[in-house]
Amino acid sequence: MSTSTASSKKVAIVTGASRGIGKAIALRLGRDGFAVTVNYSSNQAEAQAVAAEIEASGSKAVAIQADVSKTEDVAKLFDQTEQAFGGVDVLVNNAGIMKIGTIADASDDIFDRTFAINVRGTFNTLKQAARRIRAGGRIINFSTSSTPLSLPGYGIYCASKAAVEVLGSILAKELRGRQITVNTVAPGPVGTELFFDGKTPEQVDRLAKLSPFERLGEPEDIARVIAFLAGPEGGWINGQTIRANGGMV
């Protein structure tokens, strides 16, 4: 892959890329030679810092604000990426929220927000990507390894991610003939701000020990999986959900 000009690079959009797993993915794709759109919803300074770090590594990057739950924002995200880099080759649907609580106690607001960001947000980006990603491109969604475990307290979150898995597997078939892969990565517990929010130290320790490795995943563990799927060696993986969880399930 040539690195001489932005137009000769492959281009990746990473949603929710200002911190956590999204940041690690954006930095890794930048190191791999992609021009990267660092999407953020509200953390402008952090997103710009990620873009600056990618540029310092020798690749091109731009930070673009968009709320993925809003159709017009997502159209703008793709418009501005195309204006900056000439097209889109890879979409990584990392943006999401995770609110834990029993179904009986869950509020309507938590249900609506979770599905608006995790499901509607993925739908919005998939719709744009299906129309605009260049032939031979990659679409990578995010689910969770909590879904097959059916852990108490994760009902709404896992339901939203189950919907994401189905959207991805069907879109892979709908893009027949364009050599575009669509896959879903389903991490286990990863030590990020999103994961730690609302959990006691005891809960964190219990979840960390679900894996035979007896540790939490790290953002870079997931970024390596994304880099494989986004790169040339991942071209024969399509329509799959990959459970990157250290063997917890």
Alpha-carbon gap, residue 98 to 120, rounded angstroms: 15
Tell me: the pLDDT tens digits for 192-228? 987 888 889 998 999 999 999 999 999 999 999 999 9
| pLDDT at residue 2 greater than cutoff 50 | no
* Identified catalytic residue from 34, 78, 157, 195: 157
The residue among 188, 161, 186 whose CA lies nearest residue 245 is: 188
Enumerate the H helices of the chain as residue ranges: 20-31, 44-56, 71-85, 108-114, 121-132, 146-149, 155-174, 193-196, 201-208, 219-230
Alpha-carbon gap, residue 38 to 26, rounded angstroms: 7
Alpha-carbon gap, residue 35 to 11, rounded angstroms: 5
| pLDDT at residue 83 greater than cutoff 90 | yes
| pLDDT at residue 5 greater than cutoff 80 | no
Which domains are assigned to the chain?
6-242 (3.40.50.720)
| pLDDT at residue 171 greater than cutoff 80 | yes
| pLDDT at residue 230 greater than cutoff 80 | yes
Residue corresponding to tokens 């701000």: 193
Tell me: the pLDDT tens digits for 100-148? 899 999 999 999 999 999 999 999 999 999 999 999 999 999 999 999 9
Sign of CA dihedral 162, 180, 228, 35: negative
Alpha-carbon gap, residue 127 to 142, rounded angstroms: 16
**Strands 61-65 vs 241-242: parallel, antiparallel or unpaired:** unpaired
Cross-strand partners of 13:
37, 91
Q: In Å, how far are 23, 195, 201, 204, 229 from 246, measured between CA atoms?
A: 21, 16, 20, 16, 18
- Torsions phi, psi for 186 (to 5 deg): -120, 90
Tell me: the pLDDT tens digits for 28-58? 999 999 999 999 999 999 999 999 999 999 9
Amino acid, single-letter form, for residue 168: G
Count of Cβ atoms closer than 10 Å to residue 196 Cβ: 13
Q: Any catalytic annotation for residue 157? A: yes
Round the average pLDDT of the chain to a whole number and report it: 95
Long-range Cβ contact pairs of 211-216 (< 8 A, separation 24 or more): 211/245, 211/246, 211/247, 211/248, 212/246, 212/247, 212/248, 213/246, 213/247, 215/246, 216/189, 216/190, 216/191
